[in-house]
Amino acid sequence: MANITKKRIAIIGAGPCGLSQLIAFKQAEKEQRIELICFERQAEWGGLWQYTALTGIDPCGELIHSSMYRHLWTNGPKEMLEYVDYPFEKHFGRAVSSYPPRAIMYDYIIGRATAADIHKFIRFRTAVRFVNFDVNTKQFHVTIQDLLNEKILEHLTFDHVIVATGHYTLPNVPNFEGISKFPGRVLHSHDYRGADEFVDKNILIIGGSYSAEDIGIQCYKFGARSITISYRSFPMNFKWPDNIKEVPMLIRMEGHTAYFKDGTSVDNIDCIILCTGYRHNHSYMAEPLRLYCSGNLFIPSNLYKGIFWSAELRLAYLGMQNQTYSLNMFDIQAALVRDVFLGYVKLPDDDDEKKREEDISQWQAREQVIAANDHEGFTDLQTDYIRDIVSCCDQNTVPKFDLERAKAGFYKFFNDKREDFITFRDQTFTSIFPPYNEAPPCQIKWTKNMDDSIEGYLSSIKTT
């Protein structure tokens, strides 16, 4: 009898969102109410936090998922993304600083997933090739491919599908006159693996957001000769070191010379790094279920509460928004998906698609009036968004943290960067949930810290 009523739920992707979702469902799985399968293209879990030196295509013929690079350290304070049920201190047995390196982040995320015993739900090296929905049977038809034996396709059915594939994998590549004939290296930040490849080079970075600022400062840290950052709309205007300068939009390349919108030019460019962001790619979803998202939006179209496919609430997309908040927001989204799919709560506009669309439109209207460089404005928006979805969840189980402290933390983070971009990672923050601990500092300044291994990093944190 129990078997007959089991809900079959597919999760696509075992990155941070997929793992949050698996953990959220774990409790229900104990009650034998669901059958859960998570499909993951990669050989390991952890999604974009995995590092590989490889670029381009992986051994299974799939696009390399990760955009991680050597010497990447978090670009926001860890306190603002910390899992409420699994603090860093619990995982490492000691407090860590506010800006740890990638290996620490990966170890932390995987540590929680391991503790939650969810590995068994994941089918690795399995790609979802097509998802369709039968409006009569209310079933999703999912075609998957075994990447270790490309001839094996399997057709499965599910009551629910949760898309957690991320949106930082398919590079957005604008066209610039002359760039295809540039007589040097051109790469997208997706394929950037370390500034040690650019020592003594003149680098042209195209972009004005997180990738551009971080790869720019990495190139400075590792000894590039000069870094020219070309922005589209407005400069980041940080207090850059002497060999970093910001210039307007690239108009064309001619040989090794870059020409910009303001009539200026820079000669002897050795390498162009396109920090021009990513595209959503959900081509494996049948047309009526496919999320199209032009650019990186805080409020994507068609997603009710930023999660549920408005036209068919049995389908959810996790973490599809541009993110100020990340891991802890995914946990709340995952809690709401669980609560709704298992019938613990009802969505406010459960039975009225028009009202759902109105709700989405209202949020979109808020986003549209925020200036593109108003980081505080977007933080306010996403804070309110989280407050909204928390209110929809089962209040007994939703993971909660202090949203006002979080917002204040982000404000401090933006200020730190504006005050001194070179030192912002040396600052410390206070946790946003009890007991509100203050992080210890790292004893090596970030610009001098060349050891991003777990061991090296932990040894640089003062234990009290």
To the nearest whole angstrom, how small is the minimum distance from the Cβ of residue 55 to a copy of itself?
6
Site for a copy of itself in 155-184 (CB under 8 A): 170-171, 173-175, 179-184
Q: Which is nearer to a copy of itself, 74 or 276 (CB)?
A: 276
- The region, left, alpha or beta by phi > 0 then psi within -120 to 50, assigned to residue 140 is beta
The verdict on whether omega for the bond into residue 348 sits within 30 degrees of 0, i.e. cis, is no
Site for a copy of itself contains 150 (CB under 8 A): yes
The Cα–Cα gap between 55 and 64 comes to: 6
Site for a copy of itself contains 53 (CB under 8 A): yes
Contact 272, 182 (CB under 8 A): yes
Site for a copy of itself contains 63 (CB under 8 A): yes
Site for a copy of itself in 185-224 (CB under 8 A): 185-188, 190-191, 193-194, 196-197
The verdict on whether omega for the bond into residue 59 sits within 30 degrees of 0, i.e. cis, is no
Site for a copy of itself in 259-298 (CB under 8 A): 279, 281, 283, 287, 292
To the nearest whole angstrom, how small is the minimum distance from the Cβ of residue 57 to a copy of itself?
4
Q: How many CB atoms lie within 10 A of CB 184?
A: 15
Site for a copy of itself contains 70 (CB under 8 A): yes
Site for a copy of itself contains 343 (CB under 8 A): no
The Cα–Cα gap between 308 and 312 comes to: 8
Site for a copy of itself contains 116 (CB under 8 A): no
Site for a copy of itself contains 148 (CB under 8 A): no
Q: Which is nearer to a copy of itself, 67 or 97 (CB)?
A: 67
To the nearest whole angstrom, how small is the minimum distance from the Cβ of residue 433 to a copy of itself?
35
The amino acid present at 20, given as its one-letter code, is S
Size of residue set near a copy of itself by CB under 8 A: 42
Provide the total of helices (H) and of strands (E) in the chain, helices listed first: 9, 20
Site for a copy of itself contains 373 (CB under 8 A): no
Contact 147, 41 (CB under 8 A): yes
To the nearest whole angstrom, how small is the minimum distance from the Cβ of residue 197 to a copy of itself?
5
The Cα–Cα gap between 104 and 442 comes to: 13
Contact 144, 298 (CB under 8 A): no
The structure tokens 């870094």 sit at: 227
To the nearest whole angstrom, how small is the minimum distance from the Cβ of residue 294 to a copy of itself?
10
Q: Which is nearer to a copy of itself, 71 or 112 (CB)?
A: 71
To the nearest whole angstrom, how small is the minimum distance from the Cβ of residue 20 to a copy of itself?
25
Contact 79, 422 (CB under 8 A): no
To the nearest whole angstrom, how small is the minimum distance from the Cβ of residue 153 to a copy of itself?
7
Site for a copy of itself contains 61 (CB under 8 A): yes
305 CA to centre of own chain: 18
Pairing of strands 7-12, 34-39: parallel
Residue 352 to residues 313, 347, 349, Cα–Cα distance (Å): 11, 10, 5
The Cα–Cα gap between 205 and 367 comes to: 27
Q: Which is nearer to a copy of itself, 116 or 311 (CB)?
A: 311
Contact 135, 288 (CB under 8 A): no
Site for a copy of itself contains 354 (CB under 8 A): no
Q: Which is nearer to a copy of itself, 111 or 184 (CB)?
A: 184
The Cα–Cα gap between 109 and 130 comes to: 29
To the nearest whole angstrom, how small is the minimum distance from the Cβ of residue 200 to a copy of itself?
11
Q: Which residues bind a copy of itself (CB under 8 A)?
A: 51-59, 61, 63, 70, 129, 150-151, 153, 170-171, 173-175, 179-188, 190-191, 193-194, 196-197, 279, 281, 283, 287, 292
